[in-house]
Structures are given as structure tokens and as C-alpha cells.
Amino acid sequence: MRLAGLRISKLRKSFGTVDVLKGIDLEIRDGEFVSFLGPSGCGKSTLLRCIAGLEDLTEGVIHLDGREITDLPSAKRDIAMVFQNYALYPHMNVRKNMAFGLSLNGMPAAEIDARVRDAAETLRITELLDRKPRALSGGQRQRVAIGRAIVRKPKLFLLDEPLSNLDASLRVTMRAELSALHDRLGVTMIYVTHDQVEAMTLSNRVVVLDKGRVAQFGRPLELFHRPANLFVAGFIGSPQMNFLPAKIEEQTADSITISLNGTTLTIPTLGHAPVDPARPVTLGIRPDRLQLAEDGQLSGTIRLAERLGTENHLHIDLSTGDPVVVITDGTHPARARDQVRLRISPADTHVFDADGRALPRKLDPATEALISEPQGPADPA
């Protein structure tokens, strides 16, 4: 079957005895914007380099638009890549930087000229064409690097942390421009980042990688509201989700009752396979969903109150000794050493089994509708 887009099957990559990628299976649709997100060392850059043909696979197959590209040299893969440090040729001016690869591959000068002019207009760098990279600012260099990718008219764009060398405000601007560029070109883009904000805001879908494996592949809001496991739940969202140890009291086909610090909670699920009641589970709840309330089920002491203006981050030690973070309104008077009670609503919680897998969470209809909105091209939802 001919499938448009990128398909990766059973990809493994080892450096010597170190397994960096341990069996990756992905299908990325034509025209999609997908981020590879994960902490450093998770293998996201290696995976990108494998797709680019800059690393040889240890095992596995890669298809692009139905054509196998596993063993093709980079140049024949119909891809373009943007590097973190831009990798501009410092001794060539902007025009030559963009035209270099094309002219060596025998493209007619008029065609090259037209492509360079188009790309320069798209990126608003026409007036910089005769400058050397050292006379450009970081943001301009980034644009040139992207321009060098555009002129190749690739089927697939690979971007390796392209914004991480820019300062914070420029990063926000470039983020918006990248998004607009993707809309305009309509080409598949893969974007490696360790910044969850970039991944969440730019992507149609996000691949969260953990120690060389795909922890979850889904839409940004799906990762947030329905994380597949403890890793994704802890990685997405800031401050991090709170995790509390709990015991199973009772379970039905679509609910589970757990006991936590003397109180019991009955949590609805979307129907789950029975969980071994003898093993402990983990209850997860985001800091903005824990509420300070007189009649709350949990009690604790505020260790630290961070006031950020719009909101406060309260670091609370529960009476069981477990630490949690609670977000309150910025005007809330809570102070360190205050005794507080916290309320948990079952609908706001996540339950993870002893192996860290999430039980399918039942969401309220509004959230369910939000995360099911079609994301990007050819999204069946």
C-alpha cells in the first residue's frame, strides 16, 4: 500500500554497546507538523538524524511517501534539514549559502535564482542576500538556514532544535513564523525540541520519547489530558503533575475506588482491564486542580509559597510526608507554615497502575470535544 508521509518501522540504533533507540514505530501523515519531545538523552536528535540519513540504522526500515529510503544517501531522500547552530557556511554570502547545494547538483542558474528569490521573499531576508553570515543576527541566521532548506523543495523538513540558540523573545516570534511557514508550504515537518511549550504550540501531534522508546504519540492536548503513562504525565505540564501513592479498594468495568491517606475516591474510567488489587497504584493530579478548602480530604503544611503575580505556587508537605504543589490565584493570602486542607475532585485525577500505565480517563464532554478537534492535514478525527 502506498502511504503518503513518513513511516518508521522497528527502528533501532546503537552506538557500540549503548542502545539509543530501542524499537521505534511511527507513522507521520503527509503535511503534518510533528515534534519529537523529550529530555536530553532520550534519543530524539538521533532519531531525526536517522531519518536524515546522517546516522546508519542498526535495524529497521524508513519509508517516505511509499518509497523506502533506509539506505539512501541523505541527498537522495527528498529531505532538508535545519541545524541547531544553523550550520551556515561562514565564507559564503546568504545567496551562495542557499544556492550552494543546488548549483553543485547541476540545476540551471535561472531556476536557482528564482528559488532563492522566492525563499528570501517568504522569509523576508531579500535585503540580506549579499551579506555574510557573521554580519547577521541570530534570528536572521536562523531564517537563512530555513531558507537553505526551503530552496530544496523537500518532501520532508527536519528541524533540530532550531530555536534553542535564540533569546526568549525572539523564540516566541520565530515560533509563530515557523507555524505560519508550515501552513504556507503545507509540507511535512519534524521538529526536535526539549521545550514542551514549543512542541505543544507548534505541533499537530507530538512524539514523547523516553530512553529510546516512544512514550506516547498524540495530539498536544491529548498528552496533557490523557497521558498514557507516568513519564508523559510528569513531563508535560509545568509545574509537574503531583503523584500520590494509593491502594485499590474496589473496581468495576468503568470505575475504580482507591484509598488515599484515609479517604476513598471513586474515579470514573472509560472502561479498563482489571488491575491487580494487591499492587499499589499512583494517583496523579495537576497542581491547578488541587483546591485549598476547609472540607478538603487531605491536610498538610505549606513549606514554601512562590508568588508569581498571576498565580501562587504553594509547596505543601502532606501529613503523610508526600510533597505536592498547588497553584492558587495570585492574590490568595496563603503563607509558609500555614496548615491547610486540600480537596480532590475524582474527575480531575489520573490513575496509573503499578507499571506506570494510565487507566483510560473519562473526561467531561467539553474537554473531550476539545482534544478530539482535527489537528492538521488528513487527520481522520
Partner 1 sequence: MTDARRISSRRRPGIAPWLFISPWILGFFLFTLGPMVFSLIMSLHDWPVVGERKFIWFDNYSTMLTQDPRFWESLGITVKFALIFVPLNIALSFLLAVLLNVKVHGTALFRTAFYLPSIISGVALVMIWKWIYSKDYGLLNYGLSLLGVDGPNWLGDPHWSILAIIIASLWGLGGTMLILLAGLQSIPKELYEAARVSGVPAWAQTVYITIPMLSPMLLFTFITSLISAFQQLTIALLLTKGGPLNSTYFFAMYIYDNAFKFHDMGYAAAMSWVMFLIILTLSMLVLKYSAAWVHYEGEAKGGGNG
Chain positions contacting partner 1, by CB under 8 A: 52-54, 73-76, 79-81, 83, 85, 87, 89-91, 100-102, 104-105, 132, 134-139, 148, 152, 165-167, 170
DSSP 229: B
For residue 325, give the amino acid letter. V
Residue among 86 and 235 whose Cβ is closer to partner 1: 86
To partner 1, the closest distance from the beta carbon of 10 in angstroms equals 24
Burial of 57 (0-12, 13-18, 19+ CB in 10 A): buried
Closer residue to partner 1, CB minimum distance, 80 or 214: 80
Cell numbers placing 189:
515537518
Q: Which residue has the cell 535545519?
A: 82
Between 132 and 213, name the residue whose CB sits nearer to partner 1.
132
- Residue 156: φ, ψ to 5°: -140, 130
What is d(CA 270, CA 277) in angstroms, rounded to the nearest whole number?
18
Q: How far is CA 72 from CA 12, 54, 317, 361, in A?
A: 17, 10, 56, 43
Residue 246 Cβ vs partner 1, minimum distance, rounded to whole Å: 47
Tell me, what DSSP letter sits at residue 372? T
Residue 109 or 354: the one with the smaller Cβ distance to partner 1 is 109
Q: Whose Cβ is closer to partner 1: residue 131's or residue 357's? A: 131
Nearer to partner 1, 148 or 219 (CB): 148
Q: Determine contact, residues 196/236, Cβ cutoff 8 Å.
A: yes
Smallest gap from Cβ 110 to partner 1, in A, equals 19
Q: Rounded CA gap, 251 and 37, in Å?
A: 34
Query: Which is it for the CA torsion 50, 53, 57, 60, positive or negative?
Result: positive
User: Least separation, in Å, of the C-beta of 102 and partner 1?
Assistant: 8
Cβ atoms of 283 and 345 closer than 8 Å: no
Which residues partner with 26 through β-bridges? 8
B/e letters for 59-83, b = 16+ CB within 10 Å, e = fewer, are ebebbbbeeebbeeeeeebebbbbb
Residue number with CB closer to partner 1 (152 or 182): 152
Looking at the DSSP bridge assignments, the partners of residue 24 are 11
Least distance to partner 1, CB of residue 87, Å: 4
Least distance to partner 1 from the beta carbon of 152, Å? 7
Q: Which DSSP state fits 234?
A: H
3-class secondary-structure state, position 366: helix
In whole angstroms, how close is the CB of 138 to partner 1 at the nearest point? Answer: 4
Q: Provide the minimum distance between the beta carbon of 192 and partner 1 in the complex, in angstroms, as a whole number.
A: 14
The span from the CA of 321 to the CA of 243, in Å, is: 12
C-beta of 140 vs 242, nearer to partner 1:
140
